[in-house]
Amino acid sequence: MIPIKNREGIAKMRETCAIAATVLHKLKKLVLPGVTTQDLEEAGRKYIADLGATSACFGYRHGSRRYPAHTCISVNEEVVHGIPSLRKVLREGDIVSLDIVVFYNGYIGDNAYTMPVGSVAPAVEKLLRVSKEALDLGIKQARVGNRIGDISYAIQTHCEASGLSVVREMVGHGVGVAMHEPPEIANFGRRGSGEKIKPGMTLAIEPMVNLGGFKTKTLADGWTHVTSDGLPSAHFEHTVLTSDTGPEILTIPSL
């Protein structure tokens, strides 16, 4: 069953998601050649604390491991869950995904954005553009009466029509009192499949899109997912509220 948020839950999700989006918005401005992913981590940790929230990533458990940072910063062939490091220096032509998940007042907001570092190769520019369009198209399908698979289908077909591939091993998800709630929202699938969308669902829709093949592997750190062929990958994510008046993006900065 997909959790349905009541008025109060929705009001709290709005606040938390605005914080997550504000942190992401501020971090985007710091992406420049010469900056390390650890610099972004430290800034992100401070922005989250300044807004009175905490990171939902720090200490997040997967098996016996705990995620060691407050942000996920994934560069080039890193798909998601890159661990910030002083040794990772951004260079002109890189792309960097910033994934920010915060906890505030009992609720979680999740969003991500992939930025170019300076100017990037045309094929990589296209990867970013098409992946972002796929997120927008997926969000448009998050309409009451549609099914979860309609979101998946829209994302997959848009990416594949441009010769890109969608990651299979990781998926979007419901989000609310927990970071990962039902349903799973795959970035591939059949139109009309899955659960029906009802008002009051809060969904983290997050295409992970590869320039090459769809296969990924996990590094020895137990967290970082990279493309198997070493080609770049993009990741865009919003937390979206479903309602009778249509999908509403909750992860909008409050500035």
For 29-98, the DSSP string reads TT--TT-BHHHHHHHHHHHHHHTT-EESSTT-EETTEE--SSSEEEETTEEE-PPP-TT-B--TT-EEEE
Q: Which is nearer to Co ion, 56 or 124 (CB)?
A: 56
Question: What's the burial of 140, exposed, middle or buried (CB within 10 Å: 0-12/13-18/19+)?
Answer: middle
Of the residues 19, 27, 40, 72, which one makes contact with ligand MF3 according to CB under 6 A: 72
Q: Which is nearer to Co ion, 89 or 179 (CB)?
A: 179
Q: How far apart are CA 201 and CA 241, in angstroms?
A: 6
Q: Which is nearer to ligand MF3, 33 or 106 (CB)?
A: 106
Tell me which of Co ion, ligand MF3, none is bound by residue 205, counting a contact when its beta carbon lies within the kind-specific cut-off of 5 to 8 angstroms.
none
Query: Does 201 contact ligand MF3 by CB under 6 A?
Result: no
Tell me which of ligand MF3, Co ion, none is bound by residue 103, counting a contact when its beta carbon lies within the kind-specific cut-off of 5 to 8 angstroms.
none
Are 252 and 21 a contacting pair, CB within 8 Å?
yes
Q: How far apart are CA 77 and CA 200, in angstroms?
A: 35
Of the residues 41, 77, 94, 99, which one makes contact with ligand MF3 according to CB under 6 A: 99
Of the residues 39, 41, 110, 181, which one makes contact with Co ion according to CB under 5 A: 110
Residue of 26, 74, 58 lying closest to 170 (CA atoms): 74
Of the residues 45, 70, 81, 88, which one makes contact with ligand MF3 according to CB under 6 A: 81
Of 108-116, 120-128, 158-166, 239-247: span binding Co ion (CB under 5 A):
108-116
Are 25 and 255 a contacting pair, CB within 8 Å?
yes
Of the residues 16, 20, 43, 60, which one makes contact with ligand MF3 according to CB under 6 A: 60
Query: Does 110 contact ligand MF3 by CB under 6 A?
Result: yes
Q: How far apart are CA 20 and CA 5, in angstroms?
A: 19
Tell me which of ligand MF3, Co ion, none is bound by residue 236, counting a contact when its beta carbon lies within the kind-specific cut-off of 5 to 8 angstroms.
none
Enumerate residues 6+ apart whose C-beta is below 8 A from 11. none
Of 156-195, binders to ligand MF3 (CB under 6 A) are 179
Q: How far apart are CA 172 and CA 104, in angstroms?
A: 21
CA dist 58 to 67, 149, 151, Å? 6, 31, 29
Q: Going residue by residue from 129 to 158, which x/- string records binding to Co ion, judged by CB under 5 A?
A: ------------------------------
Q: Which is nearer to Co ion, 95 or 204 (CB)?
A: 204
Enumerate residues 6+ apart whose C-beta is below 8 A from 29. none
Query: Does 181 contact Co ion by CB under 5 A?
Result: no
Q: Going residue by residue from 193 to 222, which x/- string records binding to Co ion, judged by CB under 5 A?
A: -----------x------------------
Enumerate residues 6+ apart whose C-beta is below 8 A from 91. 33, 117
- Please report, as ranges, the residues that interact with ligand MF3 according to CB under 6 A: 57, 60, 67, 72, 81, 99, 101, 110, 179
- Please report, as ranges, the residues that interact with Co ion according to CB under 5 A: 110, 204
